[in-house]
Structure 1
Amino acid sequence: MPAKPSWTWRNVLQARGMVTGKITSTIGNGLNTYLWHDYWLPGGVRLCDLFSMRRLAESGLPCNARVSDIIEGNEWHFPTVPSKCTIQSVWEETRIARGHDKGSKLLWHSWHIPRHSFILWLPIKGRLRTQDRLHNQLLPRVPCMLCGVHEEDHNHLFFNCTLSNAVWRMISLKLHVTWPTVPWLHAWEWACDGYASRSQQHSHVLGMALAATVYHLWSERNRRLHHQQHGSVQKLWENICGSVRDRLANLNEVCLLPESIRR
């Protein structure tokens, strides 16, 4: 960089802070994406900004590790030794220290699916890179990728969108629950108050269903945005049920659940 950069370079540098974290990497096979230093997480953040290098080193992965290092086949394979760098630790590292979070019973319970819980945690904190957060003079706003009508934000995407509404109705019928028509964070607080107090098994299943639904809605949104691939409501429903069913199949306590939920 010259001592006296041109007008163009000065403006590029001034815009740097506006787009930092708003542009994420397309992972693909993960060979070209750095695990710690690239913006590949759904929330547009880097792991090196969330953890100290000493904390990252405890994962056993090198400084130049690639995302491919935590992928085996088509599945995530997160570090387990010495089990100090996990998706849950991202939440623990970044949340504001306070007393026990009542939402943890729905979010980080023993049956949870890590990648689902992490994606659910992001909109709870308002951290997903929805179009309303990305909008500025460099990035024009586009309508919701699920319905193509309204502007996209957390409230619309997960509850007010016609597609997400259809998915929630199917989830409600399956689990015999109802979701209130309120803003996203109010719905989360309502779920924490109303369902975290239920039996452990039922609250775990409800938490899994909530996380899986948010995860697959967000995944569908990203497929439409980045790959122009459109799935149906029925396909979304099948993916959500399949995720929860596969997890339950590996649990000893599943026999305590009603047959209607296990199927």
Structure 2
Amino acid sequence: MEVAERLGLEDSTTWKDLDGNNRPFRSFEVWQNIRSRKQPVMWVNAVWFSQCIPRHSFHLWLVIKNKLKTQDRLAVWEAGSETNLRLMCCPLCMTDRDSRDHLFFRCSFAQQVWLTVRSMVNMEDIDGSWQSILGWLDLNASSKKTEYIIGKLVIAASTYFIWQERNNRLFSNNKASAEVVSEKIKGIVRLRLMGFKLKSGATNQRWLKKWNIVSSEAEIDPG
């Protein structure tokens, strides 16, 4: 304090970083020092990427981590009476207890949605099993190609709106058809694509045409 005053300096709080260097105190520096570190998972760039829709990405992260409150997890927690647990079934197809792997996309309702939207990203060879979806995400997570970016958007939007429809049926008794849910998915992805800055070229033009976007709606510019 006295030294600082003699030198005409103001007091400041410093924080020693991981390399032992004194740095100005910021919450960012504290967080970098105290947080645990692990190797990034293979699918990280499939969930979080610059063109993502944040709420969809957060939901997809929960899906991948299997953290949604599906009926199979509630049964493990023994939530509700034994009678209620026996009566649990998927609100979408009414044939099986819902789970992550059932909802995305083995449920007959979800399967209809997936079969409709996957054709928009040339993913006809990817079936409705979650392992198949996750394998595709792992394989193409870091790709910068338009095709794979759109594919990631479609997968995230599909899980988001199928889960939303599941909750609507379970808690408010509102029902939408698989066609309506599919159109919601295509609509939100199309809206996101309209904000893309795409390089000019025949391939990107084909994608714009496939999604019914005229060139003037999407900026054709390297990005």
TM-score of the pair, normalised by structure 2: 0.68
Mapped to 2, the partners of 1:246 and 1:127 lie a distance apart of 28
- The aligned amino acid for 1:168 is W
Q: Deviations over 1:217-254 (max 9, x none)?
A: 00000100111001001100110011111111122227
2:86 paired with 1:144: no
Matching residue of 2:49: 109
TM-score of the pair, normalised by structure 1: 0.58
Matching residue of 1:98: 38
Larger Rg: 2
1:49-128 matches, cutoff 5 A: 97-128=37-68
| Cα displacement (A) at 1:157 | 1.0
Mapped to 2, the partners of 1:115 and 1:220 lie a distance apart of 16
| CA 233–181 in structure 1, closer or farther in 2 if over 3 Å, else same | closer
- The aligned amino acid for 2:127 is P
Matching residue of 2:102: 156
| CA 155–116 in structure 1, closer or farther in 2 if over 3 Å, else same | same
2:198 alignment partner, SS class:
helix
| CA 137–232 in structure 1, closer or farther in 2 if over 3 Å, else same | closer
| Cα displacement (A) at 1:156 | 0.7
2:159 paired with 1:210: no
TM-align CA RMSD: 2.3
Mapped to 2, the partners of 1:137 and 1:217 lie a distance apart of 23
2:115 alignment partner, SS class:
helix
1:166 pairs, out of 90, 97, 112, with 112
| Cα displacement (A) at 1:191 | 1.2
| CA 102–239 in structure 1, closer or farther in 2 if over 3 Å, else same | same
Matching residue of 1:224: 169
Mapped to 2, the partners of 1:261 and 1:161 lie a distance apart of 27
- The aligned amino acid for 1:120 is L
1:246 alignment partner, SS class:
helix
Matching residue of 1:179: 126
Mapped to 1, the partners of 2:38 and 2:182 lie a distance apart of 36
Query: Which range moved further: 112-121 or 96-105?
Result: 96-105
Matching residue of 2:141: 196
Asked if the contact 2:126/2:133 (under 8 Å) is kept, the reply is no
- The aligned amino acid for 1:232 is S
Mapped to 1, the partners of 2:36 and 2:105 lie a distance apart of 26
Mapped to 2, the partners of 1:116 and 1:200 lie a distance apart of 20
Q: Deviations over 1:106-133 (max 9, x none)?
A: 2111010011011111110010000111
**Identity rate of aligned residues, in percent?**
30
- The aligned amino acid for 1:230 is K
Mapped to 2, the partners of 1:167 and 1:176 lie a distance apart of 15
| CA 202–96 in structure 1, closer or farther in 2 if over 3 Å, else same | farther
Mapped to 2, the partners of 1:96 and 1:129 lie a distance apart of 26
Mapped to 2, the partners of 1:230 and 1:160 lie a distance apart of 19
Asked if the contact 1:105/1:204 (under 8 Å) is kept, the reply is no
Mapped to 1, the partners of 2:36 and 2:99 lie a distance apart of 23
Runs of at least 4 residues off by over 4 Å: none
Mapped to 1, the partners of 2:174 and 2:90 lie a distance apart of 15
- The aligned amino acid for 1:134 is L
1:244 alignment partner, SS class:
helix
Asked if the contact 2:143/2:149 (under 8 Å) is kept, the reply is no
Size of the aligned set, in residue pairs, is: 168
Query: Which range moved further: 134-143 or 169-178?
Result: 134-143
Query: Which range moved further: 99-108 or 146-155?
Result: 99-108
